Amino acid sequence: MLTFFYGGTGTGKSYAMMDKIKQAAENDRKVCVIVPDQFTFEYEHMLYNHLGCALFNKGNTEVWSFSRLAADIFRCTKAPEGMGADSTVKTAVMYKVIRLISEREGLLFFDKQAKRASFANTALTMLSELIHSGVTPEVLGEILKTAPDNMRDKLTDLFLIYSEYSSELAALGMRDILLDARLAADMAEQNGYFNDMCLFMDEFKSFTGDQYNMIRVMLSQCAELTVCMTSDDIGKGGFGPFTAVNETCAGLSSIAAELGKKINKVKFDDNRRYKSEELFELSKNLLRLPSKAYNGDGGNITLVTAPDIYGECDYICAAICELTAADRSLRYSDIAVLSRAMNDDISVLAPHFERYNIPYYSDKKRPAGHKPLMLMVTAALELAAEKKPSTEVLLRYAKTGLTQVSEEDIAYIENYCYTWDIDGSMWQSEFPDEKAEDIRLRLLSPINSLKKACSGKTGAQICDALRSFIGETGAEEKLLSFEGKYITEAESAAQIRENQWLCSQLDEIFASLEQALTEKISLNDFRDIFMLSAEKITLAAPPDALDGVIAQQSDLARLTNPKIVFVMHANDGIFPFITGESSTFSEREREFFKKSDYDLSGSMKKRLAEERFNAFKALCSPSHRLFVSYSEADISGASVYPSPYIEKISACIPNCQRINTSDLDMLYFCRTPQSAYAAASQNFDPSDPDFITVKTELCKDPLYAKKFSYIDRIDLTTAHKIADKKLMKKLYGDTLELSASRFEDFSKCPFMYFCKTGLKLYPLPKMDLNPINQGNIMHMCMKDIFEENRGEKFLNMTTDDLTASIKKSVDGYIAKNLSGKFAKKKSFGFYLDIMNDTLLTALTHMQEEQRVSRFVPSDFEYPVGVKGSVKNSTVTPVIIECGEGLKVNFTGTADRVDEFTDENGIIYIRILDYKTGVKDFMKEQLALGINMQMFFYLFALTDEKGGRYGGCVPAGALYIPVKYPKSADDRMADEASAAKCIDDTMKMQGAVLDSPLIINAMEEDCRGRFIPVTFKKDGTVSAKSSVINSDTMEKIKALAIKQIEDMGRAVYSGDFPASPLESKKYKCTIPCGFCDYREICGNYPDPVPRDISDIDFEINGEKE
């Protein structure tokens, strides 16, 4: 007989079935209760409490899943042939089969997918569906004959894979354990295993084909099968909340009718669970159309709106604290938190539980692939399998902490790899750096030994080689004697236990691979198989305490009468989950199999029905109170919508509570010191009375007093200041060392200057042809060529002479500073050629310029000032007094100094600076501290009190652009156009003394080809010319000294505001776009530039 116990949630079906189980056990009947795998432990616990110790342990009552039932059938009858293949063996065999078929005849439909190692798992998933539905290779071959054209290629591939897979397993003396359900049903039928048994089933929504097959045998032999189902009407058709259950009941009834078995239906309507009327009414009307509104009190149902999932978690934890404080009889285990996306949400929820001191249990399985042992083995296999080691993989291997390389050495080699862009074949060459070479050898020697030991070997031999590798590196010893930093002794012991378990899991993988891979296999294939197997290892965390809140995924949860349930993340598309088409079989393919009498499980319709049912069960699971929360935005900030169930609950229970967490005051979340501190930090407002109250109370604890002291010191503005002058002296010494470049940094943004000079924060340099190295190479090349070829000798150099000199200088710099040919990619040569061409063009242009100029190059890369304690008898220090005993030692390097002597013997000096990047010069920029560099050098070198050119007249300061001409790649340009482009690109910028003598000395018959000056027809300079008179030159000198003095005082006062300079009018681009410190300054991503309205831009006697 088939008996259905059915009814809505909380109507006492399960209790009635347990009463029936108890009665059968008391009458000495053989009782077997079958539930889903994940519910066996909980159901045994419930049944034990219901039957009592003596009756439960009498020996005639069992609680089994279908898999445990199959195992008992084999135990009582006859075990099937072959050993059951575990997941590792199945993965290895499937991988081999796919490779074999791909190489032998090829695949039609799965040709591209088969090239990915992960396709082995996809193929196993498809075969599992076929096996569960009773489709054997032979059956698939028959079905294939009637398949439509658009399915034939796919089914042909599956037939080949399925057949070969079964043959390979049989050749190993193994079987797929998914076949056990059908084999067990056959054995049970042949041996009368279920004769006169009383069978019971609970917690099922649906069954697979092989489970239906077993149920058929059960019904044909047992005395009675009682099935407990959640549905208000199991005979009802159509699409509704109980569609999945009703279809299952119809399938069971059909089997019973075929066997001539009587069908008995017992409906349960009474409220046996709910302690509040609104919850019972919700369970009856939630998904009923039209829904019936309950107009009574709805206070035990609360709908919660939160800004995001973090707000949801905060509210849930605060509410749990409030509930447990109000009712001392309420245990944490009486509370459940459910989410359809709990596998993701637990990473947010768990830290909140800890913050509120709430013990909890989550059954989420954590992948073990990120654990050091697994990372080490998989990385070692990847490295050994590849011809060229990957830096990313090698560093992953090194950072497991299981190698013979220290953390300091790992950091060193990582920086070295970044600096030199080390990757691939570079690892196989000797490193010029001695320390880096030592680390390279220590990292790669074990890998190379492993590679040699695995070459041309069987899978079993590779497993042995890996065991030896782990032993030789000392990895297992380190894992089992774990002493982590900053953890307790108990945490260390727990980590050791976890490591022991991982070692045993690794041994199991090796043992399975030894069984499956008996032939020679390439290391690449072995690596893929191992990684696929390792991905399936998961870790389960034990409960924090015996009494804890249950946090589970709503579709998998099996709750034992929780009093209070929080359903979180109730957003559209999440709850219920909107499922898409299966990745294995399309709906059309499933329909084809169904017409062939083989119903594949997992159709979209079934999955949608099950999702609706799971959502319904979650909402109807509490006996006392229900909380349903949803977010207004996802973690990226994008708006999201509430679940349709929010509206349905409101329609059913109009008087339910509605809470928006944004309306709750800060004190609601102050349930523990940790949560109070978090709430105060998130709602930081020193003027808020609640904040003051929380801070005052927390500061009684020295730990939080220290934290708030730190917060109080935080400057929430961008006006960063260090008040401790002694600290400033420690950072900068008694005399401030200042270069022209750092002065310009300060002018652009004082905070940027402080990060560079005070904190010494610099990004790691790249040893390639980056702008800095290009600039250094060009400067060195100019210095070498001009020093070796002065005057007429330089002017007489041919193109070949220049090319040879450029090559000599550039090659010398690269050999000395960039390790020669080491770590140079093909692109390096390409960009080097462009740079050499640019240098040749620039030097040729300078030859032309010097032929029409009476200014003669005199010094090259000449030091201005003396750094710190460096002694140089030929160079005079440039010391600027700032008052109050403060001094600035100004230093720098003038790229080139040219001099001109007039007929009266007066010597004029100009400073030239090579610029490889973009540089716009405007005289007004000088007032902002920009482009003052060359004037600093000019005034320092011509200073009468010790300057190298003391007494000489400052004649100008000019930038020489050394850039690739814009039309150099334009092959269609004629010679004249190309020449003009070169002139335009390399024309000097800056300012020269407003004197016809000086101007003509710089460029004979000045036409503005080389210097930024042109004459009008009347002999005066044009308006666009960049000239300054002698009075202005003195004014600029005074301004330069004042700017340095002001900066020195600001530095020693600790004033470093994040106030970037910007002036579109004066072509000063805000520096934030390329600043390395913008994320920490407090003035980004919407930077506010400093106010420059009070700056005096008076130049040449004109006030702006």
Residue 425 DSSP code: G
Q: Please, what's the largest Cα pairwise distance for the chain?
A: 133
Closest CA to 855 of 745, 735, 993: 993
Q: Are 1056 and 751 in contact (CB under 8 A)?
A: yes
- 112-144 per-position pLDDT tens digit: 999 999 999 999 999 999 999 999 999 999 999
Identify the residue whose tokens are 């040919």: 821
| Dihedral-angle region of residue 602 (phi above 0 means left; psi in -120 to 50 means alpha; beta otherwise) | left
Phi, psi of 553 (to 5 degrees): -75, 130
pLDDT above 60 (res 79): yes
Tell me the two tokens of residue 825: 């990619």
CA distance 552 to 346: 9
DSSP collapsed to 3 states, 695-747: HHHHCCCHHHHHHHHHHHHCCCCCCCECCCHHHHHHHHCCEEEEEHHHHHHHH
The CA angle 430-432-436, to the nearest 5 degrees, is 80
Closest CA to 44 of 227, 274, 202: 202
Q: Are 729 and 1052 in contact (CB under 8 A)?
A: yes
- Is residue 1038 very low, low, confident or very high in pLDDT (cuts 50, 70, 90)? very high
Considering the segment(s) 277-364+543-664 as one domain, its CATH architecture is 3-Layer(aba) Sandwich (3.40)
Task: Using the Cα atoms of residue 272, residue 275, residue 280 and residue 281 in order, give the sign of their dihedral.
Answer: positive
In sequence order, what are the residues at sequence separation of 6 or more whose Cβ sits closer than 8 angstroms to the Cβ of residue 373? 400, 402, 475, 476, 479, 499, 502, 503, 506
- 600-616 per-position pLDDT tens digit: 877 788 888 888 889 99
Over residues 700-724, mean pLDDT: 84
Q: What residue spans define the domains of the chain?
A: 2-79+180-268, 83-172, 277-364+543-664, 367-540, 673-713, 771-1074
E-assigned strand segments in 568-631: 625-631
Is this model's pTM higher than 0.85 or not? no
The length of the chain, given as a count of residues = 1104
CA distance 950 to 941: 7
Domain 2-79+180-268 top-level CATH class: alpha beta
Tell me the two tokens of residue 118: 């992960």
Q: Indicate if 277-364+543-664 has the same CATH topology as 2-79+180-268.
A: yes
pLDDT of residue 648: 93
- Is residue 286 very low, low, confident or very high in pLDDT (cuts 50, 70, 90)? confident
pLDDT of residue 1103: 39
DSSP 365-416: EEESTTSHHHHHHHHHHHHHHSSS--HHHHHHHHTTS-SSS-HHHHHHHHHH
Q: How many CB atoms lie within 10 A of CB 700?
A: 9
Rounded to a whole number of angstroms, the CA Rg of the chain reads: 41
2-19 as b/e: b if 16+ CB within 10 A: bbbbbbbbbbbbbbbbbe
Q: What Cα–Cα distance (Å) separates residue 218 from each residue in 28, 134, 255, 288, 1012?
A: 19, 17, 11, 35, 101
* Alpha-carbon dihedral 883, 885, 888, 889, rounded to 10 degrees: 140
pLDDT of residue 532: 93
pLDDT of residue 241: 72
Closest CA to 337 of 628, 123, 771: 628
- Is residue 20 very low, low, confident or very high in pLDDT (cuts 50, 70, 90)? very high
Comparing 5-9, 420-424, 534-538, 865-869, the range with the smallest average pLDDT is 865-869
- 221-232 per-position pLDDT tens digit: 999 999 999 988
pLDDT above 50 (res 71): yes
CA distance 1034 to 1040: 10
- Is residue 109 very low, low, confident or very high in pLDDT (cuts 50, 70, 90)? very high
- 1042-1100 per-position pLDDT tens digit: 999 999 999 999 999 999 999 888 888 889 988 999 999 988 888 999 888 777 766 55
In sequence order, what are the residues at sequence separation of 6 or more whose Cβ sits closer than 8 angstroms to the Cβ of residue 827? none
pLDDT of residue 649: 94
pLDDT of residue 1101: 45
Q: Are 585 and 260 in contact (CB under 8 A)?
A: no
Considering the segment(s) 367-540 as one domain, its CATH architecture is Orthogonal Bundle (1.10)
pLDDT of residue 1098: 66
Over residues 1006-1034, mean pLDDT: 91
Identify the residue whose tokens are 């000798």: 793
| Dihedral-angle region of residue 1032 (phi above 0 means left; psi in -120 to 50 means alpha; beta otherwise) | alpha
- 199-240 per-position pLDDT tens digit: 999 989 889 999 999 999 999 999 999 999 998 888 877 666
pLDDT of residue 581: 66
β-pair type (1027-1028, 989-993): parallel
In sequence order, what are the residues at sequence separation of 6 or more whose Cβ sits closer than 8 angstroms to the Cβ of residue 327? none
- Is residue 874 very low, low, confident or very high in pLDDT (cuts 50, 70, 90)? low
Identify the residue whose tokens are 């938190």: 337
858: helix, strand or coil: strand
**CA 792 to chain CA centroid, nearest Å:** 62
Tell me the two tokens of residue 346: 């637990």
**Mean residue pLDDT across the chain:** 90
- 403-428 per-position pLDDT tens digit: 989 999 999 999 999 999 999 999 99
| Dihedral-angle region of residue 733 (phi above 0 means left; psi in -120 to 50 means alpha; beta otherwise) | left
CA distance 283 to 649: 10
Task: Using the Cα atoms of residue 327, residue 331, residue 332 and residue 334 in order, give the sign of their dihedral.
Answer: negative
